[in-house]
Homo-oligomer: A and B are copies of this chain.
Amino acid sequence: MEREFGFGVDIGGTSCKIGLFDKEGNLLEKWQIHTHRENCGEGILRDVAESVIGKMKERTISGEQVIGIGVGIPGPVSENGKVGRVTNIEWDQKDVAGELRELTGLMVRVGNDANVAALGEYVHGSGQGRKSLIMITLGTGVGGGVVMNGRIIHGANGAGGEIGHIKVSEDEIETCGCGKTGCLEQYASATGIVRMAKNTLRTDSRPTILKEEGLTAKDVFDAARQKDELAMEIVERVGKILGKAIADVASILDPSIIVLGGGVSKAGDVLVDVVTKYYRKYTFHACENTPIVEASLGNDAGIYGCMGMLLTE
């Protein structure tokens, strides 16, 4: 019997997104289940297995018809598939592939969620048809993923794609979540942009429509779009820091395309334009015309990438 289906499972701190795909990687159906984080998330994989098996029964799909399950995890996954400490759901050194294979009888591939999202954009999103891609995910933190010739660079220590912790400043006095200082994440994440904006509001007396209370990264971009001088300067600073970090990385990886994803990337052209300007200024001349684009799959990038791992690895 031909293997004609695959499952993509993107495990997050709040919910697990699950997709059923055909063997070409087309999404047939998607749904979510709650992530039960109680007792160090001991029930999560059992819940996933039940949901997958339930769907197979509902559609009368046998195990022989399934290629496997691709799983995205919000933590480090090394190139041998070992899952390290996942703070978000309190897993520590879990053999996700082994346990889920045991529970379902299906082949399992595991990847880090940001890496898997990059693969999703590569196979089905903004990077479709390209040979290689770097994706930078600008959310609460800054994550990323590198896909070369259809394969995720997982990294020897599961840190592949961790662009958020490139050191971009020697002068930073606040500490990053990683324990060091001056990381890209401290400036280019939603949290980082708000932090920079608040610091500016406290020290700069120029008139602005920005208000410190309840300030979001979206407010900053919206104000910049309305030509608010202070907001435009903050966006310029974010673009410079991010554009230079991407340039550093692109100089050595020379990807076919660079994709910006995550909540902050919804700022659209106002962000992409300024990042591109500084990227071109700083990158190696041969890479100056590499396109920088917005991600196109949104929250579905993860499940597409999970399925992608089954088809490319």
Contact = CB atoms under 8 A, between A and B. Distances in A.
A180 to B, nearest CB: 7
Contact of A158 (B148, B153, B161, B254): B254
Of A131, A252, A287, the most chain B CB neighbours within 10 A belong to A252
B156 A131 contact: yes
A65 interface: no
A178 to B, nearest CB: 6
A239 interface: no
Contact of A254 (B155, B253, B282, B283): B155
B160 A253 contact: yes
Interface string A123-156: 0000000111010000000001010110101111
A275 to B, nearest CB: 15
A178 B287 CA distance: 12
A252 B161 contact: yes
B290 A156 contact: yes
A76 B251 CA distance: 13
A162 B131 contact: no
B249 A284 contact: no
A285 interface: yes
A256 interface: yes
User: A interface, how many residues as a size bin?
Assistant: 35 or more
A253 B249 CA distance: 9
A286 B252 contact: no
Contacts of A130: 156
Contact of A248 (B156, B166, B285): B166
A93 B161 CA distance: 33
A32 interface: no
A163 interface: yes
Contact of A151 (B149, B179, B256): B149
Interface in A242-262: 244-245, 247-249, 251-256
Nearest to A148: B153
Contacts of A179: 285
A53 interface: no
5 contacts: A76-B286, A156-B255, A159-B254, A160-B252, A167-B282
Given A132-B156, A148-B148, A162-B284, 12 more contacts: A79-B149, A144-B252, A155-B287, A160-B252, A160-B253, A161-B252, A162-B252, A162-B254, A166-B247, A166-B248, A178-B285, A248-B248
